[in-house]
Structure formats: structure tokens, C-alpha cells
């Protein structure tokens, strides 16, 4: 902007293109109607703003003597990915999480990896962080049906797009789990033979637990207890997600947000992994669980499934309402 000239309207832009001094992204989009303010504030804390009801954000001039605010303005086509592109990003990102996280469990369980709890938790945390880094600019990086439901509940994501986001997340998880199964199928058979497990029997659920679908630790909690535990841990994760992505608080630099969320996932797994498996993501459970249903586990594949779907959704919504963004 030149002194004396009015601010330039910016129909579309990403928060990652804004130098936050002295312009603040959150205040820039405050004029947009709340119900249509952003596509999503997901795992990456990324919000996508767009023109709504003939009202557009503007760039105000920097105050005299202060560093000028810099914006890299994207065209509407660049700044607002299509719904199809966003769903593809959600599928790919969720697939990355399952490939890395479930893959680490497969290696430890079937291939003699013998990873420690911390090692598995670190693999999950890094997988989440990497998935968020590569998808947040496209879809907002929900990568979790529970997160999508929570964002819809608090008005930060459009309800009409939620079924497509959730379907894409589950599809990505299913494909990644299918690839994991193809890679480890021979090792799984050997594992079952060594343990005397007959696939499809009630006891066979133990042979896929963690690597595909999840089961509660019967020595600690039953299915109902697992549902409550999953709700609790997912509420914590969602609270952290919203806090890390809070543009007003600005407590976490934008570039570090995915790493912080990945660290939160790893920490929660270190605490709750031995209790329920620490799913916190219905797609992470349902996609791999469907693979086991189709590969011979039958009814055993559905053991306690609701704890890992209903629990995280309840917890995510509670965590989202529990977090109130300043201002």
C-alpha cells in the first residue's frame, strides 16, 4: 500500500502468507460472517478465508515508522482449493497417519521390531505432524472425523462438507491399512500360528489389536470404560489443537503448530496407549478395522468398535466447546 491510498481488498488469502506485524490474520477476517468464516481450523491450525456476502478482508497500512505489513496475495483459484482437492488432501493425510503409525505397530507386533511404547508413540506423533504439514494449506488438515465434527459444532467448518471430509478420511485410512496388510500378511499368519490363534474366533481380535483396529486392555477397562477414556483423551487433544492454532493468542508460531500437535499425540499415547490403544481418531480405527473384517476376522473385527468412534467424537466436541478463543 502507498501512503494516502485506501486499503486494497483481498478476496482470498492464506494465513501462511501473512507477515503478522503489524497486521493480524485473525482481526483481518473478523469482518467475514462467522458462519462462513473459514473452511477449517483443523490439526494444522490452518484457516482458509474467502469472500462472503460481498464483504472482503482488507490490508491496513502499517503505522509510520513501523515495519510494513507484507502480504503475498493469492488469486481466488489458488487460495480456495476445490472441495474435491480438499477431500483428496484429507484422504492422503489420514493415509499418511495410518501408514506411519499403524505401520510402526505392525513392525513391532509382526516383524520382530519390539519397539518400546515411547518408540511407537514417537512414530505416531511424527506421522501426525508430517501429515498436517503437507495437507494444512489445502484442506485445513482435519485428518480426523472427530475433529471435523468438533469444528462443525463450533461453527468453524461447514456442516454440508463434513460427510465428504469424513468419508475421505476413512477411505484414506482404509487404503493405507490395506497396504500395511499386504506388506505384513505373511508375518501376520506366522504370528497367529506361533500364538495358536484361529483367525475369526473371538480370541483372534488380539492378533490385529493396535496394528489395525483397537481393543481396550481388559485388565484396565471394559468397552464402556474405553469409550469414556477415548472421550477424555480426545477432548485434551482437541483443546490443544485449537490452542495451537489460535491466531489471537499466537502462542505457537504457525510453522511449529503441526509439530506441537504431533508431540501432543505422542504424549497422550505414552500415557493412554496401554489402556485403550489411544485412538482419538475414528478413521484410524474404522479404516483398518474394515480391512480385518474383509480378510477373515469376521465378527471379531467389530469388537468394541463403538468405543473408538463414539468416544472420540464426544470428546472432540467437548474439547472444542471447552476452548474459547480470546476476543
Among 42, 151, 58, smallest CA distance to 97 is for 42
pLDDT on residue 5: 43
Closest by CA to 181, choosing from 276, 283, 304, 287, is 287
Nearest CA to 302 out of 294, 310, 293, 312 is that of 293
Which pLDDT score, from 0 to 100, does residue 247 have? Answer: 86
pLDDT exceeds cutoff 80 at 58 = no
More confident residue, 37 or 101: 101
What was the pLDDT predicted at 297?
Answer: 97
Query: What pLDDT, on a 0 to 100 scale, did the predictor assign at position 28?
Result: 38
What's residue 49's pLDDT? 34
Mean pLDDT of 177-181: 98
Lowest mean per-residue pLDDT among 34-38, 162-166, 229-233: 34-38
pLDDT digits (tens, 9 = 90+) for 237-282: 999 999 999 988 888 998 999 999 999 999 999 999 999 999 999 9
User: Residue 78: what pLDDT?
Assistant: 55
Distance CA 16, CA 8 (A): 19
Neighbours of 64 (CB within 10 A): 6
> Does the pLDDT of residue 115 top 60, yes or no?
yes
What average pLDDT score do residues 113-125 get?
A: 95
Task: Considering only residues 57 and 271, tell me which one the structure prediction assigns the higher pLDDT.
Answer: 271
Supply the pLDDT for residue 37: 34
| Weakest-pLDDT range from 18-27, 170-179, 196-205, 287-296 | 18-27
Measured N-to-C along each axis, helices 223-244 and 310-322 cross at an angle, to the nearest 10 degrees, of: 40
pLDDT of 250: 86
pLDDT of residue 248: 84
pLDDT in tens, 194-224: 999 999 999 999 999 999 999 999 999 999 9
Q: What percent of the chain has pLDDT over 90?
A: 72
Burial class from Cβ neighbours inside 10 Å (0-12, 13-18, 19+) for residue 207 reads: buried
pLDDT band at residue 325, thresholds of 50, 70 and 90? low
- Over range 128-143, report the average pLDDT: 97
Across the chain, mean pLDDT equals 82
Backbone angles phi, psi at 52, to 5 degrees: -145, 135
User: Are 219 and 275 spatial neighbours (Cβ–Cβ below 8 Å)?
Assistant: no
Is 45 a residue whose pLDDT tops 60? no
Inform me whether the pLDDT recorded for 172 exceeds 90.
Answer: yes
Is a pLDDT exceeding 60 seen at residue 34? no
> Among all chains, which residue has been given the C-alpha cell 509510520?
64
Residue 228 pLDDT greater than 60, yes or no: yes
**Which percentage of the chain shows pLDDT scores above 70?**
75
When pLDDT is cut at 50, 70 and 90, the band that residue 14 belongs to is: very low
Amino acid at each position: 500500500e502507498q501512503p494516502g491510498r485506501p486499503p486494497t481488498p483481498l478476496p482470498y488469502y492464506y494465513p501462511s502468507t501473512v507477515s503478522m506485524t503489524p497486521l493480524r490474520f485473525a482481526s483481518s477476517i473478523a469482518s467475514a460472517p462467522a458462519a462462513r468464516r473459514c473452511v477449517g481450523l483443523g490439526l494444522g491450525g490452518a484457516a482458509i478465508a474467502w469472500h462472503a456476502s460481498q464483504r472482503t478482508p482488507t490490508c491496513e497500512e502499517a503505522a509510520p515508522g513501523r515495519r510494513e505489513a507484507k502480504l503475498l496475495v493469492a488469486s481466488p483459484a489458488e487460495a480456495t482449493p476445490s472441495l474435491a482437492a480438499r477431500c483428496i488432501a484429507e484422504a492422503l493425510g489420514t493415509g499418511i497417519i495410518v501408514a506411519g503409525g499403524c505401520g510402526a505397530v505392525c513392525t513391532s507386533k509382526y516383524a520382530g521390531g519390539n519397539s518400546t511404547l515411547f518408540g511407537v508413540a514417537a512414530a505416531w506423533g511424527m506421522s501426525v505432524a508430517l501429515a498436517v504439514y503437507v495437507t494444512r494449506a489445502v484442506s485445513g488438515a482435519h485428518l480426523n472425523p472427530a475433529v471435523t465434527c468438533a469444528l462443525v459444532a463450533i461453527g468453524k467448518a461447514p456442516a454440508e462438507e463434513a460427510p465428504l471430509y469424513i468419508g475421505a478420511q476413512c477411505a484414506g485410512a482404509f487404503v493405507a491399512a490395506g497396504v500395511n496388510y499386504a506388506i505384513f500378511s505373511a508375518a501376520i499368519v506366522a504370528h497367529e500360528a506361533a500364538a495358536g490363534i484361529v483367525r475369526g474366533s473371538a480370541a483372534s481380535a488380539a492378533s490385529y489389536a493396535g496394528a489395525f483396529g483397537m481393543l481396550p486392555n481388559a485388565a484396565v477397562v471394559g468397552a464402556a470404560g474405553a469409550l469414556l477414556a477415548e472421550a477424555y483423551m480426545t477432548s485434551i487433544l482437541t483443546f490443544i489443537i485449537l490452542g495451537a492454532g489460535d491466531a489471537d493468542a499466537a502462542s505457537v508460531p504457525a510453522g511449529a503448530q503441526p509439530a506441537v500437535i504431533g508431540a501432543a499425540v505422542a504424549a497422550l499415547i505414552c500415557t493412554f496407549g496401554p489402556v485403550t490403544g489411544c485412538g482419538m481418531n475414528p478413521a484410524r480405527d474404522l479404516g483398518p478395522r474394515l480391512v480385518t473384517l474383509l480378510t477373515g476376522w469376521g465378527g471379531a473385527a467389530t469388537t468394541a468398535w463403538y468405543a473408538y468412534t463414539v468416544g472420540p467424537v464426544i470428546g472432540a466436541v467437548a474439547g472444542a466447546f471447552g476452548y474459547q478463543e480470546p476476543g
